[in-house]
Amino acid sequence: MAPGWAAPTVAVSVTKCPIQLLDFDNMALTLRELAGQGPLGLRVLAGEPALDREIAWVHPTELADPTAFLDGGELLLTTGLTIEGEPAADYVGRLVAAGVTGVGFGTGLSHDEVPPALVGAAATAGLPLLEVPRQTPFIAITKAVSAAVAADEYAALVRTGKGQQELTRAALGRRGPGVLVRRLARLVDAWVLLLDPAGAVREAAPGSARSAGPALGAELAAVRAGSRVVTVHGDEVLLQALGTRGRGFLAVGGRLGPAERHIVTTAAALLSLSLERDRAHGRTLRGLRTGLAGLLLAGQAELALATIEPVFGAVPAPPWSVVVLAGGARARAAAVEALETEFERAFFAEYGAAVLVLADGRGGARAAELPSRIAGLHAGVAPSTTDPTVGYRQAEQAAEAARAARKPVVRFAEHAAGGLLGLLDPAAARAFADEALAPLRRHDETGRGQLVTSLRCWLEHNGHWDLAASRLGVHRHTLRNRMAKVERLTGRDLDAPGTRAELWLALQAHPS
């Protein structure tokens, strides 16, 4: 029969041919793979550069315009029975617009060969065109594609199940959400961020993905519940709200197939449960800390410390540095988070409208620095003490003074001295300070020592040699020698409480 669009009636006898089903390695079947199946005898006539397109399904049809019945991605099979009377380019154009993956044209029935006009139109449009020989029934092609689709769906189901099992094991391991985030990133081959309710990055896999966090901030307000797909830095990002009360967000960047989306949904559910569990656990521990702080300040220090050690870790031996952190609820919450993550050898608890910290000298100094990082937080610092009740009372007064004066830190010694100085005539107090400290200042001016600085530090630490020496960066014997020299130069006994009070008052009245 001469090539053309004519469609004569033909009696057909179809002979089945053996079909080899390929192992598609968990991938959808492509036109190239289909054409490579020898028993089918398919021949590529046009559109070879596009043969790596995946086949969603097979649709045999003899309609001149089948587009109303197409979803896109189909391999359309036809013998050309009803295609006549119009340019081949128009027919091909409709198929390309409908998103057809390719066309398989059966020969030996209505046409001995594929019409050259159709071949030319397909080549121009870049539409793959395959010749299907008479001995290959269309059902054989349908079975090959169907088997591949089923294998792909089964592989996706198996992958989803295995991924869900891995994530569940990671969640049950209770090693924190970071493990689950890293496992999810590996399973879906994408970057993953765990964000807190404010949008700050808690966990990232890989670490370089943290840079995407700030760009997601504007999108989070629209994802208070459910999920949303956005584009960030050219990446498609799935945002998933965690929990029912804004516990945080999960962000996954990359193109995700159905299996990956199921795995992400599982991870989101497990993270939501983990966050709820951690929140409840944290509430219980905070309540226990508060109760132990009550025992500690009620004179039951031995019982409180015996309970603190096995639950929260050992508390440094006395004397202690007692710090009280005051501020609004948000500032106190930020302080507690910093203490939980950064302080190992210290006990802290929310007590009243403040946070109590019991630590060694170094830990107390670090706690007193928190107001420089946390807005609205103020610290009160008590002198080193072996009595936590006294230390708390002094630190609390200093913290209230800091809050009232809008200062980041106030030490109780400064607060107490400032209160006494307010009752004295400034000129008289200055004259007293000049007389008391003059021998020490003259000594220091010769460059032979740092007696004034050492005396101030020693008094700040309530006469504790090791803590004061550590703060000054000298050996305790050096500090003892300096204090002995202070006694000789001033003619005063530093063991006498009155002497210490007078010298401290002099240092406050004339600090320079």
> DSSP assignment, residue 73?
S
Confidence of residue 131 (pLDDT cuts 50, 70, 90): very high
Instruction: Based on the fold, state whether residues 184 and 215 are members of the same structural domain.
Output: yes
Cβ–Cβ < 8 Å for 61, 79: no
Instruction: Based on the fold, state whether residues 23 and 164 are members of the same structural domain.
Output: yes
Digit-coded pLDDT (tens) for 315-343: 788 888 899 999 998 888 888 888 877 77
Over range 254-278, report the average pLDDT: 75
- For 469, residues 6+ apart whose C-beta sits below 8 A from its C-beta are 475, 476, 478, 479
Cβ–Cβ < 8 Å for 60, 49: no
Q: Is the pLDDT of residue 503 over 80?
A: yes
Query: At 100, which helix (H) or strand (E)?
Result: none
Instruction: Based on the fold, state whether residues 470 and 376 are members of the same structural domain.
Output: no
Which residue range is the domain that position 401 belongs to? Answer: 314-418
CATH number of 344's domain: 3.30.70.270
Q: Can you tell me the distance from the alpha carbon of 339 to that of 388, in angstroms, rounded to the nearest whole number?
A: 19
> DSSP assignment, residue 463?
T
Confirm whether 126 is domain-assigned: yes
Instruction: Based on the fold, state whether residues 61 and 151 are members of the same structural domain.
Output: yes
Instruction: Based on the fold, state whether residues 132 and 18 are members of the same structural domain.
Output: yes
Digit-coded pLDDT (tens) for 436-456: 888 998 888 887 778 998 998
Q: Is the pLDDT of residue 11 over 50?
A: no
CATH number of 266's domain: 3.30.450.190
Highest mean pLDDT out of 119-133, 230-244, 454-468: 119-133
Instruction: Based on the fold, state whether residues 395 and 384 are members of the same structural domain.
Output: yes
Instruction: Based on the fold, state whether residues 458 and 504 are members of the same structural domain.
Output: yes
Phi, psi of 322 (to 5 degrees): -105, 125
Instruction: Based on the fold, state whether residues 178 and 167 are members of the same structural domain.
Output: no
Q: Is the pLDDT of residue 198 over 70?
A: yes
Over range 404-410, report the average pLDDT: 87
137, 172, 207 - which closes a domain? 172
Domain count, the chain: 4
CATH number of 96's domain: 3.40.1390.20
Q: Can you tell me the distance from the alpha carbon of 395 to that of 239, in angstroms, rounded to the nearest whole number?
A: 45
Confidence of residue 105 (pLDDT cuts 50, 70, 90): very high
Instruction: Based on the fold, state whether residues 47 and 135 are members of the same structural domain.
Output: yes
Q: Is the pLDDT of residue 95 over 90?
A: yes
Instruction: Based on the fold, state whether residues 155 and 191 are members of the same structural domain.
Output: no
Q: Is the pLDDT of residue 151 over 90?
A: no
Q: What is the pLDDT of residue 50?
A: 92
**pTM of model > 0.85:** no
Label the pairing between strands 321-327 and 346-351.
unpaired
For 286, 314, 395, the CA distances from 311, given in Å and listed in that order, are 12, 9, 25
Q: What is the pLDDT of residue 475?
A: 92
Q: Is the pLDDT of residue 238 over 50?
A: yes
19-23, 102-106, 191-195, 357-361, range with the lowest pLDDT? 19-23
Q: Is the pLDDT of residue 118 over 90?
A: yes
Confidence of residue 124 (pLDDT cuts 50, 70, 90): very high
Q: Is the pLDDT of residue 285 over 50?
A: yes
Q: Is the pLDDT of residue 484 over 90?
A: yes
Report residue 414 CA to chain centroid gap: 42
Q: What is the pLDDT of residue 172?
A: 63
What are the tokens at 388? 């936590």
- Percent of all residues in the chain with a pLDDT value above 90, rounded to a whole number: 18
Instruction: Based on the fold, state whether residues 191 and 208 are members of the same structural domain.
Output: yes
